[in-house]
């Protein structure tokens, strides 16, 4: 009896295995998790932002999983560090694509990292959602496998030029390291200033130097009334100190991702940073999704990149639900259908997935704004936030 039972059991197991192999791949995959990834700067120049960005993304995934997942499957989020470095970003992206088999990579921050990673994504048909701003990124032949919630350089620099002119500055000197957006930043700002009767000098510096005193002397010979410090936090710390030591009394403005509270605390001298202006794409502070991000990250003023990555995850998950398929191509083909063109206003993936499952059309309005994209993948418009350092703290001047 025992031997016969063993033979039957073995025969049954073999038959079951054969049936499983004969089943379509889509059926076998129903129980597998949907794998997505964040690739954010947990270290390096973008280190102040990457961990919070990854935290916001993980919170969205957790909320969706608690509500039942997507297409009856759980979502697995893999978080990697690009170190704000293209080489490290490529290594991490290759692992996410080849080993983890993710359908989408979200949150690349530095334009140099996004530029390096993007070809890997379109070649593997992996969707890439980024917060990088260089114009050149969406000019790549990405075949639609890329969207960005960060306004491109053209929009950012045009708004910056308008704001500089509103401050009364007419002779501007731009000091900027070599990045994918360096030349476009110089060209675009000069054009914006000239429309308002202003002019610009510029200098591209080595962001690894321990001092910029010679570069500062060159800038001051231009006799500027405003200096645009267009680098990242580490080199801007050095630049601001050298401008102070050189006795520069004019206005200074820089990107908010660079001139942030970490920079202020690191410099530790109120006189060095007092009065410095910053600008950045603004989160949609009046949006219900923004309130959700505030709760997730535990702060009253989440940064723009965290808000954008929160939107990335919501958009990707709803696109998968609408496409009924968890692939990069499905996300590419469907993401605009859940983010623009009318429908029920949605501010989170859980409600969006429920509505999509019920056959409703949805229109996601996120923490960073409407999330409407043109055919190149660029965000169509957004608001900007302008702040000034006062008594060692960033003070909001306006959002427009």
Per-domain boundaries in the chain: 32-152+285-364, 154-283+383-399
Check whether 18 has a pLDDT greater than 70.
Answer: no
The distance from CA 2 to its chain's CA centroid, rounded to whole angstroms, is 63
Gap between the Cα atoms of 397 and 104, Å rounded:
37
Q: Using one digit for the tens of pLDDT, what is the confidence trace for 43-100?
A: 999 999 999 999 999 999 999 999 999 999 999 999 999 999 999 999 999 999 999 9
Portion of the chain with pLDDT greater than 70, in percent: 92
DSSP lists the bridge partners of residue 390 as 393
Please check whether residue 308 is in contact with residue 54, taking contact to mean a CB–CB distance below 8 angstroms: no
Q: Using one digit for the tens of pLDDT, what is the confidence trace for 367-393?
A: 999 999 999 999 998 889 999 999 999
Please count the other Cβ atoms lying within 10 Å of the Cβ belonging to residue 220: 16
Gap between the Cα atoms of 11 and 73, Å rounded:
31
Check whether 352 has a pLDDT greater than 80.
Answer: yes
The number of helix segments (H) and strand segments (E) in the chain equals 16, 14
Q: Using one digit for the tens of pLDDT, what is the confidence trace for 133-143?
A: 999 999 999 99
Gap between the Cα atoms of 182 and 378, Å rounded:
19
Please count the other Cβ atoms lying within 10 Å of the Cβ belonging to residue 85: 20
180 band by pLDDT with thresholds 50, 70 and 90: confident
Gap between the Cα atoms of 271 and 264, Å rounded:
11
Q: Using one digit for the tens of pLDDT, what is the confidence trace for 31-53?
A: 799 999 999 999 999 999 999 99
Q: What's domain 154-283+383-399's superfamily in CATH?
A: Response regulator (3.40.50.2300)
Rounded to 10 deg, the angle between the 86-98 and 111-124 helix axes is 30
- The pLDDT of 268-279, averaged and rounded, is 96
pTM score, two decimals?
A: 0.79
Check whether 24 has a pLDDT greater than 80.
Answer: no
Closest listed residue to residue 152, CA positions, set 128, 175, 130: 130
Gap between the Cα atoms of 106 and 144, Å rounded:
15
Extract the tokens encoding 159: 């708004």
Phi then psi dihedrals of residue 8, to 5 deg: -65, -40
Query: What CATH number matches the domain at 32-152+285-364, 3.40.50.2300, 3.90.1150.10, 2.20.25.10, 3.40.190.10?
Result: 3.40.50.2300
> Which residues touch 233 (CB under 8 Å, ≥6 apart)?
45, 48, 257, 258, 259, 260, 262, 263, 266
Gap between the Cα atoms of 199 and 245, Å rounded:
25
Let me know if the fold of 32-152+285-364 is the same as that of 154-283+383-399: yes
Check whether 14 has a pLDDT greater than 60.
Answer: no
């Amino acid at each position: 009896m025992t031997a016969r039972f063993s033979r039957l059991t073995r025969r049954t197991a073999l038959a079951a295995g054969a049936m499983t192999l004969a089943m379509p791949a889509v059926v076998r995959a129903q129980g597998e998790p949907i794998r997505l990834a964040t690739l954010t700067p947990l270290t390096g120049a973008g280190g102040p932002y990457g961990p919070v960005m990854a935290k916001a993304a993980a919170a969205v995934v957790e909320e969706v999983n608690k509500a039942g997942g997507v297409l009856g499957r759980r979502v697995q989020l893999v978080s990697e560090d690009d170190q704000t470095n293209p080489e490290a970003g490529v290594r991490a992206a290759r692992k996410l694509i080849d080993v983890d088999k993710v359908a989408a990579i979200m949150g690349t921050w530095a334009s140099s990292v996004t530029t390096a990673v993007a070809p890997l994504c379109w070649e593997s048909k992996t969707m890439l959602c980024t917060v990088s701003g260089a114009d050149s990124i969406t000019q790549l032949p990405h075949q639609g496998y890329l969207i960005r919630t960060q306004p491109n350089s053209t929009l950012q620099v045009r708004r910056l030029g308008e704001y500089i002119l509103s401050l009364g500055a007419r002779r501007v000197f731009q000091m900027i390291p070599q990045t994918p957006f360096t030349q476009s930043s110089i060209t675009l700002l000069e054009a914006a200033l000239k429309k308002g009767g202003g002019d610009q000098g510029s200098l591209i510096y080595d962001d690894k130097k321990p001092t910029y005193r010679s570069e500062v002397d060159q800038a001051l010979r231009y006799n500027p009334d405003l200096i645009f410090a267009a680098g990242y936090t580490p080199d801007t710390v050095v630049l601001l100190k050298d401008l102070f030591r050189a006795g520069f009394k004019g206005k200074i403005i820089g990107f908010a991702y660079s001139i942030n509270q970490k920079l202020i605390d690191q410099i530790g001298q109120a006189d060095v940073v007092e009065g410095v202006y910053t600008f950045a794409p603004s989160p949609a502070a009046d949006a219900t999704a923004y309130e959700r991000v505030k709760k997730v990250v535990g702060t009253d003023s989440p940064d723009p990149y965290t808000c954008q990555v929160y939107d990335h995850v919501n958009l990707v998950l709803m696109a998968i639900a609408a496409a009924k398929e968890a692939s990069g191509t499905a996300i590419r083909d469907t993401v605009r259908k859940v983010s623009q063109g009318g429908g029920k206003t949605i501010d989170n993936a859980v409600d969006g997935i429920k509505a999509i499952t019920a056959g409703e059309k949805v229109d996601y309005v996120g923490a960073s704004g409407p999330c409407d994209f043109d055919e190149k993948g660029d965000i169509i418009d957004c608001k900007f936030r302008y702040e000034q350092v006062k008594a060692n703290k960033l003070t909001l001047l306006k959002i427009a």
